[in-house]
Chain A
Amino acid sequence: MNPVVYWTSTIAKSAYILVFPLTLAFFLVWAERKQSAVMQDRIGANRAKFLGRPFLGLVHMVCDAVKMFVKEDFVPDGPHRILHTLAPFLAMFFALITFAVIPFGYQLTIAGETIGLQVADLNVGILFIFAMASLGVYGMVLAGWSSNNNYALLGGIRASAQMISYEICIGMTIIGAVLALGTLSMQELVIQQGHHYFGWLPRWGVVLQPLGFLLFFTAGVAETKRVPFDMPEGESEIIGFNLEYSSMKFAMFLFTDFIETVLIAAVTVTLFFGGWQIPWLANTGFVWPWGGDWEMHPNVVNILRMAAFAVKVTFFCWLMMAIRWTLPRFRYDQLMDLGWKWLLPLSLANIVFTALAVWFVR
């Protein structure tokens, strides 16, 4: 490939995949307020106004950002300065870097050059996600430990215990999906989900792995450290690892949760809901199961697919937000019970069952 095109396209793709989760996370801050309000028969934030209009409460987000930037960045005596500063950056970095292997579209053909819509097409992309998500816990642990505060340390310990418990389940369910679809590359996983059973049923991961999806999604919600699994933070009463943080560092921890929400939504979509696939949409256009087809330019098809991916991810963000505002928090022993006594055995059973099924089918 032409190096100019290569570098331009890589930078453009990186910008897209960086801006996409950040924007979505930014709007999730808004959705946190407004969606909860609409679910609970309230009206929600509408007091901050720009030019005399509340703009559906969007002005509040701008106010939040300004507040977070302007607030004093207070660091109490005692913390390990370098680690204390590093922790929020680590947490956010590992959440963002994971998006590098998420395929947000198939490919675009611009001026004769075919550009795959994925920043890094690793042949073990799914393992990369798993590795980076596991490293993300270091942000929390370092934050808890370096704060020189017992409550923050306890929060960090809760965070690490929870993340490790649920990452095992995530890894196990990923193995199920990988077995069923037969590849470790993210792009190839999505392409594999483009086939149809009986000519109409999309071969999405959720069709092959319904239990795997449930387990992965549950563990994924736990990974985001939000209610009902917000034991590490528990901002309303117990206070967690981010106790000694203020200003923008605190905001980065807060934002990391939202980025992880987007991340889990994106991985769920990629593994179980066909990624950028639209049912019955082939590379040349729609092929309807009842006969007939609509021909389309490949680039139009692929832009539609990018949009489909965005819509799917947004839907799962919405679903996670709905879960967050519906279910009460687990008790700590319930949390551990769920992780070790239910999700882990079930995901192991899922692997065995999937392996047997794959063996019989082949």
Chain B
Amino acid sequence: MAVQNTIKVAAQRREATLGFWEQAYIFEAVRGLWITTRHFVGNLYYHVLKLFGIITVHPLTPTIQYPEERRPLAPRLRTLHRLARREDSSPRCVACMMCETVCPALCIKIVAAEGSRPGVEKRPKSFDIDLGRCIFCGYCVEACPEDAIRMDTGILDIAAYSREGMLLDMDLLLSLQPAQQQTDKEVDRLQRLLLK
């Protein structure tokens, strides 16, 4: 009963704000049809132009055809991690465990080993990131004293068919490039690699 009263009151209030012509509905319906038809005709005009190659970008449709077209990413956007290398292509990482310690999601696992050359006492034997746990907070990047771990690959669409697939090992992390230096082909290759 209370619900019915509420509905009735709401209906009365709404009807009070509608004039006679609005309540007659047909004119409002025609007005709505006029708006959609205007959009239809305008969009169709540009679609036909585009179909015949006269224009390349549809000016009224904001759709981005995602896998083929991508929006530009902000440079400081946190995307998939990578491990940077030194100039002699050895990993910059010195296995100091800072990132593993700071990581709130506990997704980084580092196994340290003896450094292989003078001046570098430790090196990572393995460096695994479990993306299934990672929350992309970026603390690891901030914590790293060697600027070894970075999140600038520009790879956003991370997916895998299993939990094991979300585990990234050191070889993979070292092979990733910053977004600016990647060609589309490399992005494709890396995505396939990730999916495996």
Contacts and interface: CB of A to CB of B under 8 A. Distances in A.
Interaction A to B: yes
Contacts of B29: 323, 326-327
A214 B30 CA distance: 12
Given A43-B63, A43-B65, A322-B37, A38 B47 contact: yes
A72 interface: no
A41 interface: yes
Interface string A11-49: 000000000000000000000000100111111000000
B1 to A, nearest CB: 17
A39 B33 contact: no
A302 to B, nearest CB: 31
Nearest to A318: B40
A56 to B, nearest CB: 8
Interface string A102-121: 00000000000000000000
B189 interface: no
Contacts of B58: 43
Interface in A211-238: 214
B36 A326 contact: yes
A338 B25 CA distance: 10
Interface string B35-78: 11101100110010000000000101111010000000000000
A325 interface: yes
Given A322-B33, A322-B36, A326-B36, A41 B61 contact: yes
A27 to B, nearest CB: 16
A41 B36 contact: no
A338 B37 CA distance: 25
A41 B39 contact: yes
B2 interface: no
A326 B28 CA distance: 11
B36 A43 contact: no
Interface string B154-169: 0000000000000000
A327 B36 CA distance: 10
Q: How large is the interface on B (under 10, 10 to 19, 20 to 34, 35 or more residues)?
A: 10 to 19
A218 to B, nearest CB: 8
Contacts, number: 39
A38 B44 contact: yes
A326 B61 contact: no
B16 interface: no
Contact of A43 (B26, B33, B61): B61
B63 A42 contact: yes
B32 interface: yes
Contacts of A40: 39
Interface in A195-215: 214
Nearest to A228: B29
A327 B26 CA distance: 11
A28 to B, nearest CB: 15
A39 B65 contact: no
B25 to A, nearest CB: 8
A39 B40 contact: yes
Nearest to B51: A56
Contact of B40 (A214, A322, A327): A322
A41 B33 contact: no
A323 B58 CA distance: 25
Given A41-B62, A214-B26, A35 B40 contact: yes
A326 B37 CA distance: 9
Interface in A261-304: none
Contact of B39 (A39, A43, A214, A338): A39
A42 B25 CA distance: 27
B9 to A, nearest CB: 15
Contact of A41 (B37, B43, B65): B43
Contacts of A39: 36-37, 39-40, 43
Contacts of A327: 29, 32
Interface centre among A41, A322, A325, A338 (most CB of B within 10 A): A41
Given A39-B37, A42-B61, A326-B33, 9 more contacts: A38-B40, A39-B40, A41-B60, A214-B26, A322-B36, A323-B29, A326-B32, A327-B29, A327-B32
What are the 3 tightest A-B residue pairs by CB atom distance, in nearest-first order? Answer: A326-B36, A38-B43, A39-B40
Interface of A: 35, 38-43, 214, 322-323, 325-327, 338
9 contacts: A38-B40, A39-B43, A41-B61, A41-B62, A43-B65, A322-B40, A325-B36, A326-B33, A327-B32
